[in-house]
């Protein structure tokens, strides 16, 4: 059966060089000449000449050397993955499922960068050293002193060279975005917008964030913070603690991730929308290959789309540990008794949703919950989930009563039931704001 790395053809046509190129650009593959798509052997015309001609055509048109063999009246063309991008007649092809697809535009740029083990932010821009904002540079020298060995006597050029963000007197795109006076002159997609919304189409306030990434971070964070409520809680020996609608460190982490991991080849702005009951943060660019939504809920390998941006933010003390930011957001929200943040790939990009605490004891009583059910909701707010057994144990009731009351919580839309029948079932908070 034809699949990702196998194809069958009854006879040779030069147009099949596209398939050869796509195998080389992906993970390799085998093209069988002399079989139909049902894998039935068919008679080849002049196989001896084909065995001589095909390798030469592949070398001449694509620039790679295949392994060609002849077995049981079938020609096998084995293609290994190429270390560098290969083209056929000036076009680039890859495998997508069992088909060969031409790649163009931004997809092609990202493909070539990946093949060359480069990231877009390491490419040279047209900006020269004169574009550096000295105030931002001085602030970075101070903030990075604990993680980066910078002397006060080091000049701007030396620091930038050590950070690998200047080449032959020109800034890389990372250098422009991080320290430029007006990065938008060189990177069209280097912007962000934040807005306060009462309803999806009812805008109360908006901020258009431009400037370098450090400036954008400050602008966006303040744009969110000014629309949040704060209450004061007395802890310990009369120590006052500020408790915001959402943990500020989690919001800052999400904004940082959007700035450093977005796809800057996409000209769309980062978007932040603050509603009465939630905050939505979206950036263009999906998750890196090999990273899933579920992996974001644990510490995971780090595959930054923009390696230099991430590295400089780490040196500046704005990133604590590689691959831990999303897990930290989740932990901060749960510690404050909030629902887990929700991660989604949508609209060609990546979203984070933060949900406000709608599960206060006062609200739960207003919804008709008894004290046992309230205790269970508070348990889930702190730990993320609950089982029938845990519900029974924390309330000292029978399994039957636990089942009844958990069903009531599910019917009210407060809990959602996940997992298989029996011990595999767990209950989590439903994000009522989605409804």
Question: Is the pLDDT score of 364 beyond 60?
Answer: yes
Q: Which of 44-48, 53-57, 304-308 has the lowest mean pLDDT?
A: 44-48
C-alpha 5 chain-centroid distance: 27
CA nearest 405: which of 358, 360, 368? 368
Determine the pLDDT at residue 324.
Answer: 85
Question: Is the pLDDT score of 31 beyond 50?
Answer: yes
Write out pLDDT tens, residues 91-141. Answer: 999 999 989 999 999 899 989 998 888 899 999 999 999 999 999 999 999
Q: What is the pTM of this model?
A: 0.79
Determine the pLDDT at residue 172.
Answer: 96
Distance CA 210, CA 214 (A): 10
**Domain ranges in the chain?**
6-115, 118-357, 361-434
CA nearest 249: which of 301, 327, 173, 350? 327
Question: Is the pLDDT score of 434 beyond 70?
Answer: no
Arithmetic mean of pLDDT, 187-194: 94
Write out pLDDT tens, residues 312-335. Answer: 999 999 998 777 889 999 999 988
Max Cα distance, the chain (Å): 93
C-alpha to C-alpha distances, 434 to 236, 279, 354, 430, nearest whole angstrom: 37, 12, 11, 9
**Residue 374 near residue 362 (C-beta atoms within 8 A):** no
The answer regarding whether domain 6-115 maps to CATH 3.90.78.10 reads no
Q: What is the overall mean pLDDT for the chain? A: 91
Question: Is the pLDDT score of 216 beyond 70?
Answer: yes
**Residue 352 near residue 341 (C-beta atoms within 8 A):** yes
- Percentage with pLDDT > 90 across the chain: 72
**Residue 269 near residue 191 (C-beta atoms within 8 A):** yes
pLDDT bracket for residue 200 (50, 70, 90): confident
**Residue 37 near residue 43 (C-beta atoms within 8 A):** no
CA nearest 92: which of 14, 164, 176, 25? 25
**Residue 186 near residue 173 (C-beta atoms within 8 A):** yes
Q: Which long-range contacts (CB under 8 A, 24 or more apart) does 36-44 make?
A: 36/8, 36/10, 37/2, 37/8, 39/1, 39/8, 41/72, 41/73, 41/74, 42/10, 42/11, 43/73, 44/11, 44/73, 44/74, 44/75
Determine the pLDDT at residue 237.
Answer: 67
Name the CATH topology of 118-357: Heat Shock Protein 90 (3.30.565)
Write out pLDDT tens, residues 401-410. Answer: 999 999 999 9
Question: Is the pLDDT score of 1 beyond 80?
Answer: no
**CATH number of the structural domain 361-434:** 1.10.10.10
* Region for residue 63 given its phi and psi (left: phi exceeds 0; alpha: psi -120 to 50; beta: otherwise): left
Same fold: 6-115 with 118-357: no
Number of other residues whose CB lies within 10 A of the CB of residue 174 = 29
Write out pLDDT tens, residues 226-271. Answer: 999 998 877 666 677 888 999 999 999 999 999 999 999 999 999 9
Distance CA 148, CA 76 (A): 54
Distance CA 400, CA 95 (A): 54
φ and ψ at 359, to 5 degrees?
Answer: -105, 45
């Amino acid at each position: 059966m034809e699949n990702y790395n196998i194809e069958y053809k009854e006879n040779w046509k030069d147009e099949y060089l596209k398939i050869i190129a796509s195998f080389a650009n992906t993970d390799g593959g085998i093209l069988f000449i002399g079989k139909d798509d049902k894998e039935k052997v068919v008679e080849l015309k002049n196989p001896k000449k084909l065995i001589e001609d095909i390798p030469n055509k592949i070398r001449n048109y694509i620039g790679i050397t295949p392994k060609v063999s002849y077995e049981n009246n079938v020609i096998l063309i084995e293609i290994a993955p190429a270390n560098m991008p290969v083209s056929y007649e000036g076009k680039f092809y890859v495998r997508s499922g069992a088909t060969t697809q031409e790649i163009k535009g931004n997809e092609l740029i990202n493909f070539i960068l990946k093949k060359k083990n480069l990231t877009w932010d390491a490419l040279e821009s047209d900006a020269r050293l004169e574009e550096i904002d000295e105030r931002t540079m001085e602030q970075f020298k101070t903030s990075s002193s604990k993680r980066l060995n910078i002397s006060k006597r080091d000049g701007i050029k030396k620091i930038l060279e050590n950070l690998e963000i200047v080449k032959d007197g020109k800034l890389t795109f990372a250098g422009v975005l991080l320290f430029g006076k007006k990065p938008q002159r060189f990177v069209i997609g280097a912007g962000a917008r934040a807005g306060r919304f009462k309803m999806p189409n009812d805008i109360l306030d908006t901020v258009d964030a431009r400037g370098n990434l450090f400036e954008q971070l400050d602008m966006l964070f303040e744009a969110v913070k000014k629309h949040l409520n704060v209450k004061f809680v007395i802890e310990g020996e009369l120590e006052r603690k500020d408790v915001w609608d959402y943990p500020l460190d989690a919001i800052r982490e999400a904004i940082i991730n959007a700035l450093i991991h977005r796809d800057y080849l996409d000209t769309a702005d980062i978007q932040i929308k603050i509603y009465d009951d939630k905050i939505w943060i979206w950036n263009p660019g999906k998750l890196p290959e090999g990273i899933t939504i579920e992996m974001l809920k644990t510490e995971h390998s780090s595959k930054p789309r923009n390696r230099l941006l991430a590295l400089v933010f780490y040196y500046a003390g704005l990133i604590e540990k590689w691959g831990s930011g999303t897990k930290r957001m989740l932990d901060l929200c749960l510690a404050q008794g909030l629902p887990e943040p929700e991660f989604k790939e949508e609209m060609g990009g990546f979203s984070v949703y933060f949900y406000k605490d709608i599960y206060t004891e006062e609200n739960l009583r207003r919804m008709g919950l008894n004290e046992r059910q309230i205790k269970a909701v508070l348990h889930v707010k702190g730990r993320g989930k609950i089982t029938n057994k845990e519900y029974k144990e924390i309330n000292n009731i029978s399994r039957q009563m636990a089942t009844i009351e958990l069903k009531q919580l599910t019917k009210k839309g407060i809990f959602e039931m996940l997992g298989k029948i029996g011990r595999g079932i767990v209950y989590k908070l439903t994000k009522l704001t989605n409804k």
